[in-house]
Chain A
Amino acid sequence: MATKILVAVKQVTALDEDFEIRADGRDVDADFFLRDLNEWDDFSLEEAVKIKEAGGEVEVVVVTVGPEEADESLRKCLAKGADRAIRIWDEAMEGSDSQAIARVLAAAVQQQNPDLVFAGVQSSDHSFASTGIALAGLLNWPHAAVVNQFEFSPGATQAVIRRELEGGVLQMMSIDLPAVLSIQLGINTPRYASLRTIKQAAAKPIEQVGLSDLGLSATDVGEAGSASRVRRMYIPEKGRAEMIEGSLAEQAAKLAAIIKEFKGASA
C-alpha cells in the first residue's frame, strides 16, 4: 500500500512597508499584505517530495486552511512535486486560532488517513508554533516537534528522527507511524519552483473542502472554536538605545548621570 504524506501548509502574509492597522484595530489592513507560502512549509514539503523521489509508492498531499488567495501557494506546492492539493475554507473559519485550525486539520486527516503528517515548526506571520502539536493532540498520534533530520523508507512502520533541543543539544529518536512531525528550517534545501512550472500547475485541480464536508459546525471554528481571541493589534512605541563612549571613567560617569536622570534625582 502506498505511503501517504499529508503536508499541512499555510499561506502567510508579510507586511508591506508603512503598513496600517485595520479600522477595528484587530489586524493589519489587508491592503498591505504580501502573501507567500510559509517558509517552514517549504521545507516540510521538500522533505515529503524527497521521500517520494527516493522511490517507493508515496503520495504527497498538501492541505491548507484558507480563502481563495491561498490557491496560489498550493499551486507552488504542486509545482514542486505535490500530487494533490486540498484547500479547506468556510467564512466561519475567519478568526480561527491555532487550536481551531488544528481541529479542522484533524478532521481532514481523519478523512485522508495519511501515514505521516508534516507541519512547519511555526508560521512566519503568527508564530504560534502550536498548530502541529495541537493537531497531534487531537488525533492522539505520536508526535515530534522541531525535527531537523528524518529517515524513513516508504512502507516502514517506524521512522528515525533527529530533533533540535535548546542549547545545541540534539535528540535522536524513533517514532511509530502514523505520526505528526513539525519540521524545522534547514532540514533540506527546498527546490526552486520556476514560474513556468507554477503556471503549468494551474492546470492541476485543487480540491475544495467546506465545513460540512468535514463534519464540523460553525461553532468548532472561527472565534467560537478558538481558545484565544485577538483583542488589539498595535505597533509598540519605539524604545531608546544609546551607545556610551569614552574612557571607562567617562562611561561610568555618563551612566551614573543617566540613572540619576531616570530616578529624577538632581545631578
Chain B
Amino acid sequence: MIDPQSITRTLFEDFHPIAVTVFYAIGYGAIGIFCWGTWIQIRKYRYGSAYAAVGTFISRFKQMTAALLTHRTLVRRDHAAGGAHGLIFFGFALLFIGTSTITVEYDVLKPLTGMRFWYGDFYLWFSLVLDVAGLMLGGGLAFMMWRRGWLKPPKLSYVRPDRTPTDPDYDRSGYQREDWAFLWSLVIIAVTGFILEAVRLVWLQGRPEVWDYRWWSPVGAAFAIGMRAIGLSAEAAGMIRSGLWWFHGLIALAFIALIPFTKIKHIFTASASLMLRDPLAAQRLPRVPDAQESAGFSYITDLNWKQLLHLDACTKCGRCHEACPANATGAPLSPRDVILSLREFANKTLASGTLPDQAELDIHGKSPGQVSMETLWSCRTCMACVEICPVAVEHIPIIVQMRRKLVEAGDMDPLLTKTLQTIAKTGNSFGESKRKRGSWTKALATPIKDARKEAVDYLWFVGDYASFDPRNQKVSQTFAGLLQEAKVDFGLLYDSEQNAGNDVRRVGEEGLYDLLATANIEAMKNAQFNTIVTTDPHSFNTIRNEYGDFGGHFEIQHYTTLLRELLVSGRLTVTKPLGYRVTFHDPCHLGRFNKGYDAPREILKLIGCELIDMKRCRDNSFCCGAGGGRIWIPDPVGVEKPAQNRIREAAVIEGLEVYVVSCPKDLTMFEDAVKTTGNEGQFVVRELIELVREAVASPVALEAPVEELADG
C-alpha cells in the first residue's frame, strides 16, 4: 500500500537551494513588473474625467460574472470563435487556479500551519483536471491559429477605411505580430507543460507512487510512453527536465510580467469593462453640465476614466467593424478603429506621471491616434457596434461627444448647418411653419382632438417626418383612421409639438436638443393624457430614455404595441388576411435601441402575412443610413448607400412582395433605394400601418385607397 502522502509532486525536486532562491527572485521580479505596469495603466485611467458607475457594485459584478461564465457576448454571431475562446478561457482559468493552489499550500499554508492537502486523491484529481484544462487551452489555441492563419476572416484585417496606404497607421501590422506572439506564447507554455509532465514521469519511472498513477495525467503519460519507446532513459529525462523546467517557468513568469503592457491585459480590462457596462449607453446620451465651458470632447482627458478603460478593453475582434453600416458602404469609419486610435493616443500621451501640453492632447485631426471629422460624421449612431461588442465597449457616446465639439466649432456639412438653423427657427427639419404641423389632419373626415384643450387617453407624438413629408402624411392619416375606428381616445399637440430632438442630439447639437426637449416636455405637461404613442421610433427613443433627464417622465409606446393590442383585443378585426410574402426591417431605434422586435412580427402574423426574415434582422438589423442626423447630410455619390445595400439583401428573398417598415424615415429611405437599385416592380415598400389598413375592414371610406398610395 502506497502512503497517500507520498502521492504528490515534490516541488523543486533535486534543485540546488540557490536555484530555488533565484527562481523566487525572478518570480517576485515578475510580479513587481506586473504591479508596476498595472499602476501605469491605472494612472492613465485616472487622467480621465469623473464618472459615477450605474448600479450597485454587486449587481455589476454579477452581470460581469454571468457574461464571463456563459460567454454569451462572445458566442453571439460567431459560435466558433466564441467557443474556442471559451476553451482558452476556461482552460487558462483552471490552470491558473490549479497553479495558485500549489502556491497556497507550499508558500502559505505549509510554512504557517504545517498543513498540506496537495497529495493523494486531491493530487490525482488535480492532475487530471489540469491535463484536461491544458488540452482545452491547446485546442482553443489551435483553432484560433487556424482561423487567423488560414480562414482569415475579413474582420480580423486591421486595414483601415479611414486611412490611405501611405499613412503610417494604415494597416497596423504591429498588432498582428502581437496577436501571433500572444498565441504562440500560450502554445509554448501549454506544450512545454505537457512535455515537462512527461519527462518527469520518465525520469521518476522507478517510483511506483509516480509511475503507477501516471494515467491521472493522461496527456503526460501518453507523451512519456512515446519517449520511452524512442529510448529516452531516466537520467536523460532528468536532465531534459531541469532545462525545460526553467524554460517553462521563465516564459510563464514573463507572460505574467507582460500582462499590463500587452493585449494579455484584456483579461482584466475586458472584465472591468463588462462590469461597467451601461445598458443605455447609446439610448441615453450624457447631458452636458450647464457650467461646463465647452460641450463635448476635445482632448483625450475629456474622456472619463471608464471610457479610457473601454479603449483598453477592445480585443480587436472586429465584430463592430463588421456590423457597422458606414464601414460596410465604404465610409471612412470603423468603430473599432476609432477605439484603437484613441487607445494609441492615450497610451502615447498619458503614459507618464506628467501631462504633456494641452495642444498635444487634442484628439481631433488626421495624425496617428487622432480621429478625423470625416470619420465622426460618417456615423449613423445605429448602435450596431455597441450592441455586438463582446466586451461592452461603448462607441456611440464617445463619437457623439466628439461631434459636440465639431458642432461647437462649426466643423460640419453646410447642409447640416442649415438644417440645424432651420430646426432652431421653426422647430422642425422641414423648415415649415409651426402652424402647419397639424395640416395633414385636414384630410380626415373626423377631426383629431387637441390634447392641449381636452383630456385624452393617448397623446400621439407624430414627429417631423410623419407630419410634413407628403408620403408619410398619408400613413399618418391611415393610422388616425385606424385609431378612430378602434375608438381609441387620442389627441395631438398640434403646433406645440416640435422635433423630438433624438437626431439633433445624436448630431451633437446639445443646446438645440435641450431647447427642443424642454419645449416638448412643457407642452406634454400642459396636456392631459395617460400614455404617449408615437409613430416615429426616433422620437420614441428620446422621449422614452432621455426626456427623463430633462424632467419629462412619461409612459410611451411605439405604435406597433398599440396596434397589436387593438388587433388582439378585437377592437380591430382582420377581415382580409393578406397572404403576402413579406420581410420586415427592424428600425434601429425600435429594435436594437428599445428591443421592440416582437410586436411588428406578431402584427404581420395577425394580418396573415408570411414573414421571411432577412439574414441581418432583429439585433443585427442593418441601418437604413438615416440615423445620427445623416438624413440631413448628403451621402457621397457613386458609392452604395446603406439603404441600397439593405434592399439588395431583401431582393434575394424569393417571391418577396412587400418590404415592411415601421419608421417614417425608413419609408423615405427605402422607397428611394428600391428605385435606385432597380428593384421597382419586384416588390414594394410599405408601412406596417398600411398593411394593417388593408387587412382590417373599414366602415368609413378613406379618401384615398391604400393600394394607390403604395404604388404612388
Contacts and interface: CB of A to CB of B under 8 A. Distances in A.
B314 to A, nearest CB: 31
Contacts of A34: 425-426
A195 B514 contact: yes
B666 interface: no
A128 to B, nearest CB: 24
A198 B512 CA distance: 10
Contacts of B514: 195-196
A198 B434 CA distance: 22
B515 A195 contact: yes
Interface stretch (B297-305, B404-412, B578-586): B404-412
B424 A195 contact: yes
Contact of B408 (A16, A17, A197, A199): A197
A108 B106 CA distance: 91
B399 to A, nearest CB: 17
Interface in A17-45: 17-18, 34, 36
A50 interface: no
A35 B428 CA distance: 16
Interface in B389-413: 407-408, 410, 412
A192 B511 contact: no
Nearest to B416: A192
A247 interface: no
B420 A17 contact: no
B327 to A, nearest CB: 28
A34 B288 CA distance: 29
Contacts of B295: 194, 196
B433 A17 contact: yes
Contacts of A192: 407, 410, 412, 417, 420-421
B509 A195 contact: yes
Interface in A161-198: 189, 191-192, 194-198
B414 interface: yes
Chain B CB within 10 A, most for which of A189, A195, A196, A198: A196
Nearest to A80: B410
B510 interface: yes
Nearest to A195: B511
Contact of B436 (A17, A196, A197, A198): A17
Interface residues of A, number: 14
A189 B510 CA distance: 22
B511 A17 contact: no
Interface residues of B, number: 24
Nearest to B292: A196
A199 B410 contact: no
B511 A197 contact: yes
Interface in A113-147: none
A198 B424 CA distance: 12
B442 interface: no
A18 B410 CA distance: 33
B435 to A, nearest CB: 7
Given A34-B425, A191-B410, A16 B510 contact: no
Contacts of A17: 432-433, 435-436
Most chain B Cβ neighbours within 10 Å, of A16, A18, A195, A198: A195
Interface string B613-656: 00000000000000000000000000000000000000000000
A189 B414 contact: yes
Contacts of B420: 192
Interface string B506-522: 00011110110000000
Q: Looking at B288, B424, B434, which has the most chain A CB atoms within 10 Å of its CB?
A: B424
A192 B421 CA distance: 8
- Of A36, A189, A192, A197, most buried by chain B (CB within 10 Å of CB) is A192
Nearest to B504: A195
A195 B512 contact: yes
B435 A16 contact: yes
Q: Which of B433, B436, B514 is packed against the most chain A CB atoms within 10 Å?
A: B433
B435 A18 contact: yes
Interface in A224-240: none
Contacts of B417: 192
B425 A36 contact: yes
A33 to B, nearest CB: 12
Given A16-B433, A17-B433, A194 B407 contact: yes
Contact of A198 (B425, B426, B511): B511
Nearest to B508: A194
A195 B412 CA distance: 15
B473 to A, nearest CB: 16
Contacts of A189: 414
A129 B10 CA distance: 100
Nearest to B426: A34
Contacts of B510: 194-196
Interface in B417-464: 417, 420-421, 424-426, 432-436
Interface in A195-247: 195-199
Contacts of B288: 196
A172 B5 CA distance: 103
Nearest to A200: B293
Nearest to A42: B421
A75 to B, nearest CB: 12
A197 B295 CA distance: 9
Contacts of A18: 433, 435
Contact of A196 (B408, B425, B433, B434): B408
Interface in A25-84: 34, 36
B511 A194 contact: yes
B679 to A, nearest CB: 34
A191 B425 CA distance: 17
Closest 9 CB pairs of A and B: A195-B511, A196-B511, A192-B410, A17-B433, A191-B410, A195-B512, A192-B417, A16-B433, A194-B408
15 contacts: A16-B433, A17-B432, A18-B433, A34-B426, A36-B425, A192-B407, A192-B421, A194-B407, A194-B510, A195-B511, A195-B515, A196-B408, A196-B511, A196-B514, A199-B511
Interface of B: 288, 295, 407-408, 410, 412, 414, 417, 420-421, 424-426, 432-436, 509-512, 514-515
Interface of A: 16-18, 34, 36, 189, 191-192, 194-199
Given A18-B433, A36-B425, A196-B511, 19 more contacts: A16-B434, A16-B435, A17-B433, A191-B410, A192-B407, A194-B295, A194-B407, A194-B408, A194-B410, A194-B509, A194-B510, A194-B511, A194-B512, A195-B424, A195-B509, A195-B510, A195-B515, A196-B510, A199-B511
